[in-house]
Homo-oligomer: A and B are copies of this chain.
Amino acid sequence: MTSTSPLTRTPPSTPASAAVPVDPARSDRRGAGVDDVRLSPTGFWGRRQLVNGEATIAHCLDWIERLDWLENIDRVARRETTVERAGWQFSDSEIYKLLEAMAWELGRRDDPALEATFASVVGRVAAAQDDDGYLGTAFGHPGLPERYSDLGMGHELYNLGHLLQAAVARVRTRGEDALVEVARRAADHVCREFGADGRDGICGHPEIEVGLAEFGRALGEPRYVEQARLFVDRRGHGSLPVPPLQSAEYFQDDTPVLDAEALRGHAVRALYLSAGAVDVAVDGGDDALLEALRRQWDHTVERRTYLTGGMGSRHQDEGFGEDFELPADRGYCETCAGVGSVMFSWRLYLATGEVRYVDLIERTLFNVVATSPASDGRSFFYANPLHQREAGAESTDGVNTRAEGGTRAPWFEVSCCPTNVARTLASLPAYVAALDGDTAVLLQYADGRVHIGDVLLDVQTRYPDDGVIRIEILDAPAHESTVRLRVPAWANDAHLVEPDSDARPVEPGWVDVRRRFTAGDVITLDLRITPRFTFPDPRVDAVRGTVAVERGPLVLCLESVDLPDGVTIDDVAVDTTAAPVATIDGATVSGVVVTSGERAPGALPYGANAETPTPTSDLDIALVPYHRWAERGPATMRVFIPTADGRNTTAATDGR
């Protein structure tokens, strides 16, 4: 089931054993196993996956040890919990998310050293488990508060949810082992404690739902899924005590999932809950719940989502804002919310087969998830705003106590994002392709080999730098079969070349190539990536009169380091009558340097006369991919740039 070379052809795994993070009980679709897709180490995602395996996982483990978060576990095992505990009450979850990352990594390649590390951590975790299956370092032991005495903020079930997700990764890649056994005992404990006859409680931070549902699927234990359903059903009835200065909306305890109109409150909580609720709805055949979640997704994407796919516009409560409250500068867009958004959208894709969910996954992966880690995989963005007014500090080797700020940090006081990035990149192959009925679907374009169903594909592409995707059939059944390709919503000049055919235009959405394939057949999809202007909806007040530039799936941005001396990001405006011009991986737009009027000292920034900035000189403005901003030292940055005429002018772009 594993392979040492990413490009070695592997025998098809049977669907029953697919190494996938999500496998609904009722679905016509299943993603590729993590071992079914071999990303080329030179491609966009393959490179990141390699760095993740070689650097990020070890980096995270190092910090977890350094800060004594594993020592917390050992102290429970040694019954020494009366000394002061290290870290937040949710620090255990970082260990579990890292175990999940390791498990997916080990599901793709043999690595005896990593396997030994994994086993060692699992051994320490197992030693800390109570006889009745309870596992936790912040409650329920001498010197600590009682178990479940703070359901609102205690994160005990949240931590266990991540344990279960790690065990899912393990059981689906290597089968049952010590971690799976620990997880099973923990899940049994949760069902006993919080079952229909148990405590009528929920966890302030959703995650147990998605963990239980998938672990139940993985082990064939429907009662775990049933317990997840109980947690989803119990939510929204105001049962959690609301902390001072908080609201029930913060942890989605204000309105039942079935009745909510949009995602709201703490973004990661809302997204994890939604993902778990889709699992429950799908396995239970609860169409009303599924429809409610689809409506909430629509509303949230239409009115509460950034161009990057980022979600959560408020630092306050790390939360969603109201409709169209999408400030570029204070956009929080937590990396973990990006991960949660992928989790939610992925489950809706599996449930429906609709392309828009996959489109948002692509947008979020390229512009949120890929933005977080530095190229060396050892520092991370927590928040991903679309406008940086003040340059961040020089990067340091210390803990960044605050989530904000223009500089990737090695670790955070609340350090949820690094391990979330690690587990997502380690399991990325699962989102690249899917089997829809007997149709092989290519969802994301990445250089590498894809084995899906009975089809083995060699994908060659420099995507997203280039839009040409060459798909060679290496193996396919003798009978007629279908390869389905996704044409992203932005690709409205895409062309397809089927074997022995001429290029033909294809529309955004799904495009099927159905035939009796023979080895060596080549399908070429040309998404014709050129930079394009993107204008905000007029209701997004915060970016009125501005324009962004996108290039394929990438959002571009202006960094101060690319401007001439003396010109700041506030001094330029874009001439939208001239089309943007492609550079190697970004774009150049025509612009002007503008000068704002002078005001008297101490005068408010408001005046009787409109002050359209005065153009003083022309300037070509170089834009780079947002995902790699701040890699050249501290900088200011903006995605949305004012237009030279001060309004949303219809663009003369490349004809689209």
Task: Enumerate chain A interface residues (CB-CB to B < 8 A).
Answer: 242, 244-247, 297-298, 301-303, 305, 307, 314-316, 321-330, 356, 387, 389-390, 401-403, 413-414, 489-490, 492, 532-548, 570, 576, 594, 596, 599, 601-613, 642, 645-651, 653, 656
Contacts and interface: CB of A to CB of B under 8 A. Distances in A.
A367 to B, nearest CB: 12
A610 to B, nearest CB: 4
A599 B537 contact: yes
A403 B244 CA distance: 12
22 contacts: A245-B413, A301-B602, A301-B603, A302-B602, A302-B603, A305-B604, A307-B604, A322-B389, A325-B389, A356-B602, A492-B608, A537-B607, A537-B611, A538-B594, A538-B596, A538-B613, A538-B642, A539-B596, A540-B605, A547-B610, A610-B649, A610-B650
Nearest to A605: B537
Contacts of A594: 538
B542 A542 contact: yes
A301 B604 CA distance: 6
Q: List the 9 closest pairs (A to B, CB-CB), nearest first.
A: A537-B605, A646-B647, A610-B648, A315-B316, A545-B545, A647-B647, A535-B610, A298-B602, A544-B545
A306 to B, nearest CB: 8
A539 B245 contact: no
Query: Main SS of chain A's interface residues?
Result: loop
B302 A539 contact: no
A427 B609 CA distance: 36
A401 B603 contact: no
Contacts of A548: 606
A107 B521 CA distance: 95
A541 B316 CA distance: 20
A57 B72 CA distance: 52
A656 B302 CA distance: 42
Contacts of A541: 328-329, 387, 542-543, 546
A535 B606 contact: yes
Contacts of A649: 610, 612
Given A610-B650, A646-B648, A647-B647, 8 more contacts: A298-B601, A315-B315, A330-B330, A538-B594, A538-B642, A539-B570, A541-B543, A611-B648
A606 B534 contact: yes
Given A316-B315, A646-B648, A610 B576 contact: yes
A303 B605 contact: yes
A649 to B, nearest CB: 5
B301 A314 contact: no
Nearest to A610: B648
Contacts of A387: 541
A322 B305 CA distance: 23
A600 to B, nearest CB: 8
B402 A536 contact: no
Contacts of A244: 401, 413
A647 B645 contact: yes
Contact of A647 (B490, B538, B543, B545): B545
A313 B490 CA distance: 35
Contacts of A601: 298, 302
B537 A245 contact: no
A608 B656 contact: yes
A653 B609 CA distance: 9
Contacts of A242: 401
Given A545-B545, A601-B298, A607 B647 contact: no
A389 B402 CA distance: 28
Contacts of A536: 605-606
A302 B605 contact: yes
Contacts of A316: 314-316
A323 B390 CA distance: 9
Contacts of A613: 538
Contact of A389 (B323, B532, B642): B323
Nearest to A534: B606
A297 B346 CA distance: 51
Contact of A602 (B297, B535, B599, B602): B297
Nearest to A645: B647
A245 B87 CA distance: 12
A226 to B, nearest CB: 30
A534 B602 CA distance: 17
A390 B322 contact: yes
Nearest to A548: B606
